[in-house]
Chains A and B, each alone.
Chain A
Amino acid sequence: MGHGHYIAPPKGQYQVQAGEVLNLQFVVLPGESRDIDVSVDLLGPGAEAHLKGLYLCKADEKVNFRIVMHHCAPGCKSTQLFNGIAGGEAQVSFHGTIVVAPEAQQTEAYQENHNIVLTPEAKVTTQPQLEIYADDVKCSHGATVGQLNEDELFYMRSRGIPESEAKTLQMLSFLSPVVPEGREEEIEQAIRTL
């Protein structure tokens, strides 16, 4: 069911052996441009990788993610969730690829990337990609780029919540699935600088 012939990607930075679980968390806060290049090889049966990412960008910052999740063995599982907000003239790109090798039957692989743009000048491109060479797999990917919801914003303002505070609440709720435990306040402070 894949397209073309299976060519194994170059070996990744993370290699997860049978039965092991890899958890990775990425946080990019305003004030820096970053290139994040990650590849994960799930090498043995039952290996798992769970990736979460959060990014907040403003001014002329550039943040690029390139993620390759390579399922090389049967019965492996991977999840990826990346949520980010771009303001100012920031440029964000997200390229996420899931490769499922022919021998990686009973694979479960999920990838989501959701973005909010705050200004007309901010730019987000997102490109999730699936390359599946096995036939017994559960895979899904999804990507969205949107704006803060105007109806929610007005509803909150009509109750007396100032516009900036209402936006902060919206952004916090959008990011909450990817905020690392214990860093809630730091993230909230960072949101207020956008």
Chain B
Amino acid sequence: MDKLLEIHNLHARVEDKEILRGINLEIGPGEVHAIMGPNGAGKSTLGAVLTGKPGYEVTEGSILYKGQDLLAMAPEERAWAGLFLSFQYPVEIPGVTITAFMKAAVNAKRKAAGQPEMKAGDFLKLMKEKMAFVQMKPEFAKREVNVGFSGGEKKRNEIFQMALLEPDLSLLDETDSGLDVDALKIVADGVNALRSPSKSAIIVTHYQKLLEYVQPDVVHVLKAGQIVKTGGRELIDAIETKGFDQF
């Protein structure tokens, strides 16, 4: 397997509106790609389609992940296969604690891989370690998922979950929006710590803040549902000075 993700001529719509109009994208193991684009370009739709969010209809094209037909997999099967989306707007789940939530997630993934459930003590130790890593206070373990969290706390909780699940392909959807510099560094450290020759990431953003801390290998410009330009880091500077209209 040479590519982790292969998107070919992807068209997708929400209700009657076509948002993605022929996306082509390949990501190899160990690569970090940035996808930049103005509001409404289809960035979040791409994340939604990759993770299988209900309500998004793929009308044409294909997605292969680790050589498998990703679109045929349920959202949970995609997670078991190592796909992770850091939500732009993390969802609040009243009544479910972070501990219960992540325990269910970790054990479901282990079960799918034919592994036994994690021992309670081992799990709590792992959780503590990963929470410290994103500078979440230990008492968050008992809090209901995202309920009453500030914007920065919600994003750190996403990175905590990512660190715990150790995905092969992470998608960060506008994870930098609304973060102050300190929180941004925590998020960046989280992403950088996961970098390895086998793990890849897609950073979706409309500005370059996070990309100062996480250096992408490849930069794509997404506009009106298509990738209109692909290059290196020089594209970030070009966008910074001249905006998206040049493409």
User: For the complex, is B105 an interface residue (Cβ under 8 Å from A)?
Assistant: yes
Question: Are A162 and B96 interface neighbours, CB within 8 A?
Answer: no
Binary per-residue interface labels of chain A (150-175) against chain B in the complex, 1 for a CB within 8 Å, 0 otherwise: 11101111111111011001101110
When distances are taken between beta carbons in the complex, the residues of chain A under 8 Å from B93 are 152, 155-156, 169-170, 173
When distances are taken between beta carbons in the complex, the residues of chain B under 8 Å from A25 are none
User: For the complex, is A125 an interface residue (Cβ under 8 Å from B)?
Assistant: no
Question: Are A157 and B95 interface neighbours, CB within 8 A?
Answer: no
Q: How far is the CB of A45 from chain B (nearest CB, A)?
A: 37
How far is it, in angstroms, between the C-alpha of A159 and the C-alpha of B101 when the chains are bound?
9
When distances are taken between beta carbons in the complex, the residues of chain A under 8 Å from B95 are 170, 172-174, 176
Question: Are B80 and A150 interface neighbours, CB within 8 A?
Answer: no
Question: Are B76 and A162 interface neighbours, CB within 8 A?
Answer: yes
Question: Are A161 and B54 interface neighbours, CB within 8 A?
Answer: no
When distances are taken between beta carbons in the complex, the residues of chain B under 8 Å from A155 are 87, 90-91, 93
Count of A-B contacts judged by CB separation below 8 Å: 74
Binary per-residue interface labels of chain B (95-134) against chain A in the complex, 1 for a CB within 8 Å, 0 otherwise: 1100011101110110010000000000000000000000
Q: In the complex where A169-B96, A169-B100 touch, is A161 in contact with B105 (Cβ < 8 A)?
A: yes
User: For the complex, is B181 an interface residue (Cβ under 8 Å from A)?
Assistant: no
When distances are taken between beta carbons in the complex, the residues of chain B under 8 Å from A152 are 91-93
Q: Which of B52, B75, B102, B108 sits near A165, CB closer than 8 Å?
A: B108
When distances are taken between beta carbons in the complex, the residues of chain B under 8 Å from A165 are 104, 108
Q: How far is the CB of A12 from chain B (nearest CB, A)?
A: 33
Interface residue total, chain B, C-beta cutoff 8 A = 31
When distances are taken between beta carbons in the complex, the residues of chain B under 8 Å from A163 are 74, 76
Question: Are A160 and B108 interface neighbours, CB within 8 A?
Answer: yes
User: For the complex, is B161 an interface residue (Cβ under 8 Å from A)?
Assistant: yes
Q: In the complex where A154-B53, A165-B108 touch, is A159 in contact with B96 (Cβ < 8 A)?
A: no
Question: Are A161 and B108 interface neighbours, CB within 8 A?
Answer: yes
Question: Are A157 and B75 interface neighbours, CB within 8 A?
Answer: yes
Q: Which of B54, B84, B92 sits near A154, CB closer than 8 Å?
A: B54
How far is it, in angstroms, between the C-alpha of A163 and the C-alpha of B80 when the chains are bound?
13
User: For the complex, is B186 an interface residue (Cβ under 8 Å from A)?
Assistant: no
Q: Which residues of A are in contact with B by a Cβ distance under 8 Å?
A: 150-152, 154-163, 165-166, 169-170, 172-174, 176
Q: Which residues of B are in contact with A by a Cβ distance under 8 Å?
A: 51-54, 74-76, 78-80, 84-85, 87, 90-96, 100-102, 104-106, 108-109, 112, 161, 165
Known interface pairs A160-B79, A161-B104; 19 further A-B residue pairs with C-beta atoms within 8 A, sorted by A's residue number: A152-B91, A152-B93, A156-B93, A157-B75, A157-B79, A158-B79, A160-B106, A160-B112, A160-B165, A162-B76, A162-B108, A166-B104, A169-B96, A169-B101, A170-B95, A173-B93, A173-B95, A173-B96, A174-B95
**Interface pairs (14), CB distance under 8 Å:** A152-B91, A154-B53, A155-B91, A158-B52, A159-B79, A159-B101, A160-B76, A160-B80, A160-B105, A160-B165, A169-B96, A169-B101, A170-B96, A173-B94
